[in-house]
A and B are shown apart, each in its own frame.
Chain A
Amino acid sequence: MSHKRFLAWLLPALVTLAVAGTAMAADLATLVGNLAAGGYSERDAAITALAASGEARAAPVLEALSAGELYVRTADKVVVIARGSGKQLSLVDAVTGKEAGSASEDALDRIKVNNRLRGTIDAAMGALTLMNPDPKVRRAAAQSLFTRRDASSLEPLDKAIAGEKDAAIKRAMTEARAAIVLGTDAPAARKIEAIDTVRARGDRDALGVLLAAAASANAEVKAAAATAAESVRQRLDAWQAAQNVWYGISLGSVLLLAAIGLAITFGTMGVINMAHGEMVMLGAYTTFVVQQTLRSVAPQLNELSVIVALPIAFLVSGAVGVVIERTIIRFLYGRALDTLLATWGLSLVLQQAVRTIFGPTNREVSSPSWMSGSFLVGQIEVTYGRLWIVVFALLVFAALLLVLRRTPLGLYMRAVTQNRPMASAMGIRTPRVDALTFGLGSGIAGLAGVALSQIDNVSPNLGQGYIIDSFMVVVFGGVGNLFGTLLGATALGIVNKFLEPYAGAVLGKILVLVFIILFIQRRPRGLFAQKGRSVE
């Protein structure tokens, strides 16, 4: 289809080239002008024509079109590239590439693109940038040709392969070429050769190409493609198990972050703290406020706003925790049911308070660039955001362990947990330790909130989603034992991720819950039982 269209446009383009000379600029103007005319189908043809013209201006114009920066100036119908933010956009004439003053967005008419056109542009850009001096651009060009598989790009690919020095990029180009060949009516022998090349690539994209080829009419090609697809699939399945483990660890780290504060307030103090989730939410909202403030005060620090938010979130949630302990919870020690109801009520109050202050809709917390995107380890897609959260969860865990084991506060806390009257007799101010312990647990929940603001909604309901999971982790791991929480969170995360592909997310969650109920029947004190006030 597009092959024919390419030829149809190639001929006039070649004629134009032959005429050459002064006519060139005028023709470019027509080609660019065509982009603005007609519906999507006409625009699609115009893009292909422009790309085939071989004009140096084609690449920047198409790039602008794809990014939604190509406009028609309403006043004189000149096609311009408009960039910049705010009311006034600075303009560049699309045909000549010269500055063309500035205009407000109202005076411009954007040339619209949809997904189909973005695909066409990608294929065209791939062919145009194959010879780019920047190796990164060349590699991206090869990749986009591989995914687009447009027969018209075979010729430029052949040229590029011949001239390419970098072995890795050359391989990427050869793979793209092979993938395209599989879609044409090339002879079977060439196709089988191409199948081998694609098979060596061995990723999901390759599998897609091979499966498409396996539907071919030629029996020989069909068999070869099917075998190749099968071998790629087997390799990918092996990788998938590894991928599930990674996803499990990642989910586990989120559970750990959410639960670790609860491991302090519930685990060591024995307070059934239903408002724990709201401490997490407060941390997330603190991140939002910090980011907004930084945006207006010091925009250059925006990338670091998440890090700046950490200590502040700890202090905010911690302070709220101390206030709650002093005003409500201290009167309720030893009355588990009453604390449950009181903290549950408190969680509703906090949610509605936040809803009143910040509004009921989600707040946007943007991710810094070092937390966006992903990279490949073998065939496992690792997203940076998740990776940093795993690292962060472990750091928080280590820091908490250090506080409990190596600081006077930790010593007091453990003493009060193990034997309150004795600790009191030794001169420890137990009420103060209680308040600080609760504050510490809440502060850590605030830290979790900063991390969760990166992966979840910042809304008044944020905390609710995590409270059940947090209790599950703490109870499963063993009340009062931090290592139990770590192990519990990781185990639940991994089990969940292995169940999810087979049982579905809903049933998977139910199965995990059933498993925990059965487990608690066998071992009422969780993985690691510990003596403490909660056991008394």
Chain B
Amino acid sequence: MKLGSIIRSGLVAAGLVASATTGAFAQSGETIKVGILHSLSGTMAISETTLKDVMLMLIDQQNKKGGLLGKKLEAVVVDPASNWPLFAEKARELLQKDKVAAVFGCWTSVSRKSVLPVFEELNGILFYPVQYEGQESQRNVFYTGAAPNQQAIPAVDYLMSKDGGEVKRWVLAGTDYVYPRTTNKILEAYLLQKGVAKEDIMINYTPFGHSDWQSIVADIKKFGSAGKKTAVVSTINGDANVPFYKELGNQGIKAKDIPVVAFSVGEEELAGIDTKPLVGHLAAWNYFQSVKNPANEAFIKEWQAFTKNPKRVTNDPMEAHVIGFNMWIEAVKKAGTTDPNKVIDAIVGVKVPNLTGGMSEMLPNHHITKPVLIGEIEANGQFDVVWKTPGLVPGAAWSPILEDSKNLKADWTSALNCGNYDTVAKKCIGSGK
């Protein structure tokens, strides 16, 4: 391999004919373009830049394996700059101008909602890698992150169990936007269903980037001193987490007294905090870097080599991209073409290995099956998996707990071909929802 490349570069340098494989690519000039739609500047760059790098690595690896359908993959990177309307514009540019075969991108729900009509209109394919609030299923979108039933609900179940501390009183704290609001709505309905009294649930919202947590943490402390075991379920997003955890540590709230389980805090976020005071606080994800598994260890090694940083961490949305990318590759191979309609049909039922040792499958509702892991924060900024679902959990597009969505069903196979089929009225509500 190495010898070959040395000889090859030697030939090129001498001005001779390039080697057979590269020559073939160069002559046909044909590549399959893959769009990467992640913010590289602005507030969301903190999370999304990493995903762009993962995609570049995956595409690079696939090319080394010989590309796809005999062609090389070519990444087209655009920067929507954390600006929601710009996401739609850039998506249009990718689909119309660059004619990409699939797009991997978006992080926030607003950005996803902003590009949905574009993908529908131009019949593109989007892989969305982030845990989200659910209540959506669109023909052109594949949701490789967790739906609420693959993250929030199991986390609450864990806290209610004996190992989780038999929590009786709940603080639902979140940033004020669609994901926390919807998730908390589902969680509140779920808790009430489980017999938790209304006065044992405290819901608190804070603005984006909230940095002064003194009174809210004091409030949580106050709420927690009612003689019942209390836990905080945090959907606090992004940057606001660091000051929140710092304040928790400073005010001496220990995980064994009031544990905090977070849905948006992963290895990347912890890299910016001194985690010693946070040991024991929890996070629920479908992947942790600390999972001992040959596939995961190989992935971490490749990632650290690719980024030339031996300390670079991996996280859950990165794994979602790995799964999504591999599923797309499989589907294209199966369909024998990158034509969106054929790929959308071919991908349902495709199974690829995830990085925690199972086989994730693309479901007819365009969500995937994933294991749910609960991890405790360790002093070194990693998570220690303390609980795991016995098998893989299939993602539910529509929450059966909420009144407005309990009758809805999503199935994009030819049987139904609908994202929001009302099983009682027996009709497809159609787009717009």
**Contact A362 to B242, CB < 8 A, known contacts A211-B227, A247-B215, A501-B219:** yes
Q: Which of A204, A361, A384, A500 contacts B215 (CB 8 A)?
A: A500
A-B contact count (CB 8 A): 163
Closest A residue to B209 by CB, please name it.
A465
Q: How large is the interface on B (under 10, 10 to 19, 20 to 34, 35 or more residues)?
A: 35 or more
Chain B residues with CB under 8 A of A374: 250-252
Give the residues from 183 to 227 in chain B that come closer than 8 angstroms, CB to CB, to chain A: 204-207, 209-212, 214-216, 218-219, 221-222, 224-227
B343-373 vs A, Cβ < 8 Å mask (1 yes, 0 no): 0000000000000000000000000000000
Chain B residues within 8 Å of A477, by CB: none
Q: Inside 8 A of A119's CB, which chain B residues have their CB?
A: 165, 256
Q: CA A364 – CA B43 in complex, angstroms?
A: 18
Flag the segment in A54-62, A185-193, A450-458, A519-527 that touches B: A450-458
A504 beta carbon closer than 8 Å to chain B: yes
B69 an interface residue at 8 Å Cβ cutoff?
no
Of chain A, the residue at the smallest CB distance from B376 is: A114
Residue B379 is within 8 A (CB to CB) of chain A in the complex: yes
**Hey, what's the 0/1 contact readout for A337-376 against B, CB within 8 Å counting as 1?**
0000000000000011001000111111011000011100
Which of B246, B272, B277 is in CB contact (< 8 Å) with A363?
A: B272
- B165 and A115 within 8 A (CB): yes
Question: Can you list, as one digit per residue, whether each of A487-510 has a CB less than 8 Å from chain B (1) or not (0)?
Answer: 000000000110011001110010
- Residues of A contacting B205 in the complex (Cβ-Cβ under 8 angstroms): 504-506
The residues in B between 26 and 48 inclusive whose CB is less than 8 angstroms from any CB of A are 40-41, 43, 45-46
Q: A209 and B256 in contact (CB under 8 A), knowing A244-B215, A383-B251?
A: no
> A385 to B250, Cβ gap below 8 A?
yes
Distance in angstroms between the alpha carbons of A324 and B153 in the assembled complex: 52
Closest B residue to A500 by beta carbon equals B215
Residue interface mask B35-67, A partner, CB < 8 A = 1: 000001101011001100000000000000000
Q: Are B221 and A459 within 8 A (Cβ)?
A: no
Rounded to whole angstroms, the CA-CA distance of A329 and B327 in the bound complex is 54
Q: Is the CB of B271 within 8 A of A364?
A: yes
Please list 8 pairs of residues, one from A and one from B, whose beta carbons are closer than 8 Å in the complex, sorted by A's number: A114-B163, A116-B162, A355-B41, A359-B49, A361-B49, A381-B221, A461-B46, A461-B239
| 7 further contact pairs, Cβ within 8 A, besides A361-B50, A386-B214, A506-B205 | A211-B226, A254-B211, A383-B214, A459-B239, A459-B272, A501-B215, A505-B206
Chain B interfacial positions (CB closer than 8 Å to A): 40-41, 43, 45-46, 49-50, 162-165, 176, 204-207, 209-212, 214-216, 218-219, 221-222, 224-228, 239, 242-243, 246-247, 249-252, 255-257, 259, 268-269, 271-274, 277, 279-280, 282, 376, 378-379, 384, 386
Q: Which positions in A face B, CB cutoff 8 Å?
A: 40-41, 68, 112, 114-116, 118-119, 122, 147, 204-205, 207-215, 236, 240, 243-244, 247, 250-251, 254, 351-352, 355, 359-364, 366-367, 372-374, 381, 383-386, 455-461, 464-465, 496-497, 500-501, 504-506, 509
